[in-house]
Amino acid sequence: MSAPVDAPARAPLGRPSSRTRPPLLAIFLYTLRSCIPPRRWAAVIAACAGTVLFGLLARATFRNEASGFANVASEGIFGLMMPIATLIIGDAVLGAEVRAGTFHFSWRSPVSTWQLVVGRWLGGSLVALVTIVPATALSALVAGVPDAAGPALAASAVGSVAYVAIFVAIGCISRRTAVWALAFVFLIERLLGTALTGIAQLSPTWESRAIFVGLVDFDVPDRLIREGIPQGTGAIVRLLVVSVVALVVATWRMGHLRLGGASD
């Protein structure tokens, strides 16, 4: 062990050194390196595999492949696999770290809270964009509906990004991120969203469906078209607004976090 030396000198506050990475980039890279452990990757990849299997199911079950994939994508992919995959990612990038007692290493820095939130969200979104999003497009190809791959890609990309933002916000509100995220998906979106259009308008599941339905150039079953919800690019805008609102809520809550240890 070396002899004690002076504590390392630091750059004066407000005068960043040219050798530092911008904090937002540092948080983004940290999120990718540290927040998604192998077990989480395995769970996300399992959800991706499930997504591709839904494509096979559409091909095997329905005579009209396009219509069949539209049905399967709406119910199985946008309604089940995408929320599950993004829940695993969204919980990992913040909630799991808060519970593990390691988030304070990031929180206790002069970095503004919006950077902490956006850095995590960008990291989680990138993981979703390289996993569940291509899996959705692959599912369309496997189903034998290549024309649906583009719309599926767009719908799952926007939906995943919105979900990660919502789950990051939930992680800033409660330590039980997974429980509240499941309640959000299955009670609020699936149960209340089915009955109330007002809730469906703010739901990544329903809006992803609307993006997909609005962008495909083939006829989809009437039951997939929901009145009162914007479709196509209108739904994209709606979900982007939902994402921004979720990030604003997360930023506000981030400043009020109570960070106990792992044993608390």
Partner 1 sequence: MTTAPTPRGELAPDDPAFAPEATVRVDDVSVWYGQKVALSELSCSFGPGVTGLLGPNGAGKTTLMRSMTGLVPVNQGSILVEGRNPRRDRRVHGRMALVPEDEAVPSGLTARQFVRYIADLHRVDTREAPDAALSTVGLLDVADRRVDGFSKGMRQRTKIAAALVIGPQVLVLDEPLNGADPVQRLHLIDLFKQLGRQGRTVIVSSHVLSEVERLAERVIVLIHGRLAAAGGHRAIRDAMDDRPRHVLVRSTGSRQLASALVVLEGVAGVTVDGPRDGLVVQTLHARQLAVELPRVARDRDVRLLEVRALDDSLESLFRELVR
Smallest distance from partner 1 to CB 15, Å: 8
Please tell me whether residue 105 binds partner 1 under the rule CB under 8 A. yes
Angle in degrees, CA 112, 117, 120, rounded to 5 = 125
185/182 Cα distance (integer angstroms)? 5
Q: Which is nearer to partner 1, 130 or 259 (CB)?
A: 259
Q: Taking CB under 8 A as the rule, which mask of x and - marks residues 37-56 in contact with partner 1?
A: x-------------------
Please tell me whether residue 107 binds partner 1 under the rule CB under 8 A. yes
Q: Which is nearer to partner 1, 29 or 49 (CB)?
A: 29
Q: Which is nearer to partner 1, 27 or 66 (CB)?
A: 27
Smallest distance from partner 1 to CB 200, Å: 37
Please tell me whether residue 26 binds partner 1 under the rule CB under 8 A. yes
Please tell me whether residue 186 binds partner 1 under the rule CB under 8 A. no
Whose CA is closest to 49, among 139, 170, 147?
A: 139
Region from 25-33, 76-84, 141-149, 242-250 binding partner 1, contact rule CB under 8 A? 25-33
Contact residue for partner 1 among 100, 179, 187, 191 (CB under 8 A): 100
Region from 17-25, 48-56, 58-66, 174-182 binding partner 1, contact rule CB under 8 A? 17-25
172/105 Cα distance (integer angstroms)? 15
What amino acid occupies position 18?
S
Please tell me whether residue 195 binds partner 1 under the rule CB under 8 A. no
Whose CA is closest to 35, among 173, 127, 132?
A: 127
Please tell me whether residue 227 binds partner 1 under the rule CB under 8 A. no
Please tell me whether residue 98 binds partner 1 under the rule CB under 8 A. no
Smallest distance from partner 1 to CB 259, Å: 4
Q: Which is nearer to partner 1, 15 or 223 (CB)?
A: 15
Q: Which is nearer to partner 1, 175 or 190 (CB)?
A: 175
- Interface contacts to partner 1, rule CB under 8 A: 1-2, 4-11, 13, 15-17, 19-21, 23, 25-27, 29-30, 33-34, 37, 97, 100-102, 104-113, 256, 258-264
